[in-house]
Amino acid sequence: MDSCSDYDIVIVGGGTAGLALASRLSEDESLQIIVLEAGEDRRTDPQVLTPGMWPLLTNSSSDWAFSTVPQEFLNKNVDMIPQGRMLGGSSGINSFLFTPTSQTGVDGWAKLGNKGWEYTSFAKAANKSYTLHSPSGAVQGTGHGPIQLRVAAPQSEPEATWTSAFLESLSTLGFASPQDPFSGHVCGGFSNPESVDPATRQRSFSANAYLGAAESRPNLTVITGATVTKILLSTSRRDGVVAEGVRFTESNGKSKMARAHKEVIICAGTFHSPRLLEVSGIGDEKLLQKLGIDVVLDNPNVGENLQNHVYTGVTFEVADDAIATLDSFFRSDPQAVGAAMQAYGVNGTGPLGSSSIIASAQLPFPGIQTEQGETEVNQLLQDLLHEPVDAAKHDSTSFAAVHAAFVKSILLSPTESSANYVFGPAYTEFEDRGNPALRAPGNHITIAAMLSHPLSRGYVHAATAAGDDRSGDHGLVINPRYLSHPLDVEVLARHIWFIEQSISRAEPLAKMLKPRASKFADLAAVREYLHRTAKGSHHYTGTCSMMPKKLGGVVDHELRVYGTVNLRICDASVVPITPRANTQAVVYGVAEMGAKLIKESLWAGCQE
């Protein structure tokens, strides 16, 4: 018989959202809270803490290392999916760019029927997650939370010169730069905010920031190496299914139970959260029956609406008389590595002190400011917006029409971002997907563009009834269906064309690059390039979407799973329309919103 312990709240997953939520809820000393995390505690690991070492964490023991099924529209390529398996989750292995989302995007969530999720409320909650430091060290902005950020940090060379060149070139094209990425309205470039503590020069993430401030509380228990295998559900109440607790397996293989007197909150991420619902009996009854799982609640929306930013880019060779790039460091040149170690040790700068993705830009559909560009967009929308993709159920929900209307509004706006650009002074391999670590000789810059609001949507589902399956992709089938919607292809193609034809040829970048012929003869060549080189970002959302069930929802506006009394989900999976760029900042905001809603709900229950 499983041993059992009792708590008020059981949190499944000690990742980005889970630890933020646990920290906020444990502020109430009357609540006994447990967090169950499958990974380990790596808060003292130099590979985690040293900013520039983040690429080494992919395919490590702290990465779930998922992969997609072969992608039909990406030449049947399989995409690797890093996801954090450690205290702090993906906030401990990501490239730590901290990019707040747009007012339009968050208001789009509210317009789906999510009461209380308007941008003003979300921004207020999100501001509780971070503290922003200026280059001088002073605190700036309205944020006042545990995640420490630096933006426009003092950069060593060559990063400073290349950042300036990129931002100035955008300005010459009519996009005033730098912009304020925290404003909710961005149409131009900016230096990347990073979750790096300027005092320690180390990664600031949910494990050392949120948990660090809360772990001494006697009402908070955190267990690592604990794999939750099932949510224990009861159908004895008339008002809905009750989550009585969870079953989990410790690292030694022993099975245990954690009973919840008030709430079970799933914070297992975009892939594991829907899978955990399904193996526990909540999901599409046809799938569950096929897997031999007893159906508790039939909701075919579970695991659907998977969204992600698809991206590719272009690399340019730097002129011989221009300032060097970071290529020698990434080729492990001893002199460059030594200089990087000194820069980090003395000033916290250089390629070891940051992600090396030194700047970003959020730009509208290229040419939308002109009459010709507006005509082109309208023609694309007329021809392709409502183009049938296939008869799969993930395109048959009412949400498809709402989503299309949202994307249309973005594409027709001269100020809303339809692509997020990232810039780095080093070579990046796009052509040879089989060797992404390839480093060409010489000096290069890379400009990539990711589609901010793709219409292509996919799914993730359990492939087995076993709650602790560790084979293959841990019992999951993941299919993002990248570029399955033809409008996505056309929009991203024009952004890549804009990189090649406009940004790289604008001053001062143009004089810093070697003369070259056009990489693409026309848009047809760009389309071919997309299908051959594009990949998915690591920004997955939507598989347990927060919206009305009739639209395709899994949780309501209080993050409660439809048909249940006390089972909630609080992580990236609830985001119904993917944010315009990196998701880290958004997930912290969702956790802060979730903590507020759950506290209010528990307090209301006590008053009844």
| Residue written as token pair 């007012």 | 103
Instruction: For 395-418, give the DSSP string.
Output: GTSTHHHHHHHHHHHHHT-SSS-S
Residues whose CB falls within 8 Å of the CB of residue 154, separated by 6 or more in sequence, listed in order: 135, 347, 349
Helix (H) / strand (E) containing 234: strand 227-234
Residues whose CB falls within 8 Å of the CB of residue 375, separated by 6 or more in sequence, listed in order: none
Report percent pLDDT > 90 for the chain: 86
What is the spatial distance between Cα 77 and Cα 434, in angstroms, rounded to a whole number? 10
**pLDDT for residue 604:** 74
The CA-CA-CA angle for residues 466, 472, 475, to 5°, reads 25
**pLDDT for residue 392:** 47
| Residue written as token pair 């269906």 | 481
Residue 467's pLDDT band (boundaries 50, 70, 90)? Answer: confident
When pLDDT is averaged across residues 449-470 and rounded to a whole number, the result is 91
Secondary structure of residue 244 in the 3-state scheme? strand
CA 239 to chain CA mean position, Å: 35
CATH of domain 152-191+310-451+484-533: 3.30.560.10
Backbone angles phi, psi at 257, to 5 degrees: -125, 145
Max mean pLDDT among 78-92, 130-144, 338-352, 381-395 falls in 78-92
CA 321 to chain CA mean position, Å: 38
**pLDDT for residue 154:** 53
What is the spatial distance between Cα 572 and Cα 269, in angstroms, rounded to a whole number? 6
**pLDDT for residue 440:** 86
Asked if the model's pLDDT at residue 38 lies above 60, the reply is yes
Residue 254's pLDDT band (boundaries 50, 70, 90)? Answer: very high
Extended strands (E) in 281-382: 282-283, 297-298, 304-306, 310-317, 359-363
Q: In the predicted model, what is the mean pLDDT of the chain?
A: 93
Asked if the model's pLDDT at residue 73 lies above 80, the reply is yes
When pLDDT is averaged across residues 561-586 and rounded to a whole number, the result is 97
Parse the chain into domains and list their residue ranges.
Answer: 1-145+201-308+461-478+540-608, 152-191+310-451+484-533
Q: What is the pTM of this model?
A: 0.96
- Torsion angle of C-alpha atoms 553, 554, 556, 562, degrees rounded to 10: 120
How far CA 252 is from CA of 2, 39, 227, 340, in Å, comes to 14, 13, 11, 41
Report percent pLDDT > 70 for the chain: 94
Residue 439's pLDDT band (boundaries 50, 70, 90)? Answer: confident
Q: Do 1-145+201-308+461-478+540-608 and 152-191+310-451+484-533 fold alike per CATH?
A: no
**pLDDT for residue 502:** 98
Phi-psi group of 521: left, alpha or beta (phi > 0 → left; psi -120 to 50 → alpha; rest → beta): alpha
Asked if the model's pLDDT at residue 391 lies above 50, the reply is no
How far CA 159 is from CA of 335, 354, 591, in Å, comes to 17, 10, 33
Asked if the model's pLDDT at residue 537 lies above 70, the reply is yes
From the list 175, 182, 73, the residue with the least C-alpha distance to 132 is 182
Asked if the model's pLDDT at residue 285 lies above 50, the reply is yes
From the list 497, 512, 180, 574, the residue with the least C-alpha distance to 317 is 512
Residues whose CB falls within 8 Å of the CB of residue 557, separated by 6 or more in sequence, listed in order: 113, 114, 115, 116, 117, 546
What is the spatial distance between Cα 304 and Cα 296, in angstroms, rounded to a whole number? 18
What is the spatial distance between Cα 35 and Cα 352, in angstroms, rounded to a whole number? 32
| Residue written as token pair 């900013």 | 51
- Weakest-pLDDT range from 148-157, 231-240, 553-562, 595-604: 148-157
Max mean pLDDT among 143-152, 267-276, 436-445 falls in 267-276
CB 343 within 8 A of CB 540: no
When pLDDT is averaged across residues 201-230 and rounded to a whole number, the result is 96
Q: Which fold has domain 1-145+201-308+461-478+540-608?
A: FAD/NAD(P)-binding domain (3.50.50)
What is the spatial distance between Cα 489 and Cα 92, in angstroms, rounded to a whole number? 32
When pLDDT is averaged across residues 133-148 and rounded to a whole number, the result is 80
Secondary structure of residue 319 in the 3-state scheme? coil
**pLDDT for residue 398:** 84
**pLDDT for residue 529:** 97
For residue 508, cis peptide bond before it (omega within 30 degrees of 0): yes
For residue 570 the two structure tokens come to 């609080």
Asked if the model's pLDDT at residue 152 lies above 70, the reply is no
Asked if the model's pLDDT at residue 607 lies above 70, the reply is no
Higher pLDDT, 143 or 128: 128
**228 in a known ligand binding site:** yes
**pLDDT for residue 3:** 82
Q: Report pLDDT digits (tens) over 324-361.
A: 999 999 999 999 999 999 999 988 888 999 999 999 99
Over 513-554, what HEC string results?
Answer: ECCCCCCCCCHHHHHHHHHHHCEECCCCECCCCECCHHHCCC
| Residue written as token pair 């008020």 | 8
| Residue written as token pair 């000194």 | 342
Residue 437's pLDDT band (boundaries 50, 70, 90)? Answer: low
What is the spatial distance between Cα 135 and Cα 156, in angstroms, rounded to a whole number? 13
